[in-house]
Amino acid sequence: MGRLVTLATRYPRLGALVLGAGAACGFQPLALWPLTLLGVAGLIALVRAAAGWRQAALLGWSFGVGHFTVGNFWIATAFTYQAAMPGWLGVIAVVLLSLYLAVYPALGALGAWWIGRRGTAAFALAFAGCWTISEWLRSWVFTGFAWNPLGVAALGPFERPGLAGMAPWLGTYALSALVVLLAACWWIAAVRRRADWRGLGLLLAPVAAMLAPIGSGQDDGGQGGAFTLVQPNIPQEELNDYRMFEANYQRLAQLSPVRPGQGRRLLLWPESGVPDYLREGYPDRYYLDNYGADPVLARQRLGRLAGPDTMLLSGTTDLEVRNGKAVGARNSVTALDGRGTIRASYAKAHLVPYGEYLPMREILTPLGLSRLVPGSLDFWPGPGPRTLDLGGWGRVGVQICYEIIFSGQVVDPANRPQFLFNPSNDGWFGAWGPPQHLAQARLRAIEEGLPVLRATTTGISAVIAADGTIRQHVPHRTAGRIDGTLPAARAPTPFSRTGNALPLGWAAILLVLALVASRRRAG
């Protein structure tokens, strides 16, 4: 550790870049959390030794560039499915995104240097508190991109949540602060340069915490509601090809029949599960442009497939029509009963920039740049978290695709659901994106105390219990179905009651403690 710090100190910005890249290896699918702790510990050492605030901020920024480039490199895969833009543009897009996202670690490093530079304990506390605030800012500034908060590295394997089991009392962003404090233990052990029992404790305590069997063996039972969750394994290159629409429907249909003894059940299909427009009232040409799908017949066919005691929840697309012309679209989940009647719907609120809408369209379109998702219409955002009351099928909160990554923004607190449904199309996420997406869905389950059911086109689909354990799953790039009963919801957690006021409160406590420690050191 000492030699690594010495080498990084000689070339601090390059060292920070490498440390950031290494820290991202603690996320799925590698889950090498010791590299996360080592990377953050190295960053703390570099920022603590910074000669001034500018250098401190640049070190945080360099760390962020390496961290987000490695952690988000799966985004480059999306460009390989877009004929309108060259694939190599994906690499540039990842780097450009990382240059922006690195601003937030820079702010965290700057704040820590400013508040806690007078003492070792003060600096560790300030770094943890400022990191919490920087991740919270990243989750909402410019609509937010909350992918891979540091706390994800605290998740245990499928059968237990690990240290992330603390999320109901911390929230994800304060869980990240806990990871920072564990990394700071290694930094303090290095700067003490004493081989005694305290140094040994500082080295071993983070390991013990990360390996703690928190939540292991817990079973909340089930609520009794039956479900069938379908993963059709439709490749991304076939998903939007109109020539494959019927074949794709048949893949879903073959995995969906009711089985003996199921009775009333939910049938859960992924995002983009139904290409047909299911609502009436659009001008005829839009149905014809959608290759002749009549909305009434499409709904009736789905109802017959589902059966009389089944409620189908599937990803769909709705249009916004003004004066006989479609001016926008909604990425929706539609609930259909066995008669083909629309019982409820939800429209995605957190849209993906450049994926579902094109910012600055007037400037970028003439340059040949377009959305990653095919289509000429931009999607419009829905109103935010809503609970759909499906009667005897229960109350469900819906979060479409990457909406599930936004901590504190997935549940309507005035109408708490029994579970969350997270349909997604992860087919353009590469190999690293799907397991990272699943990990963040697990954190939402733990924070909110609610089970999460994920149905995706290509995986990883899963049944996640309210403690974050994965009861069942369909592996990546595999067709399959899961039949079961809904895991039980837990009582509202402290986080579900307070939202992100909870981690911000913890950040405030850490910063106050840092100021107190700084004053004692100065005195």
Active site residues: 271, 348, 401
- What strand order describes the sheet that includes 419-424? 387-389, 395-398, 419-424, 452-456, 461-464, 470-474
Distance (Å, whole) CA 439 – CA 33:
14
CB proximity list for 3: less than 8 A, separation 6 or greater? none
Residue type, 164: A
CA distance to 12, 71, 106, 278, 444, per residue, from 63 (Å): 10, 12, 8, 47, 26
CA distance to 255, 397, 419, 424, 464, per residue, from 489 (Å): 27, 12, 7, 22, 11
* Rg of the chain taking only CA atoms, in angstroms: 24
Residue type, 7: L
What are 332's strand-pairing partners?
A: 316, 347
The angle formed by the CA atoms of residues 350, 134 and 10, to the nearest 5 degrees, is 130
Q: Is the peptide bond before 460 cis (omega within 30 degrees of 0)?
A: yes
Pull the structure tokens for residue 231.
């993963």
Distance (Å, whole) CA 495 – CA 168:
5
What are 89's strand-pairing partners?
A: none
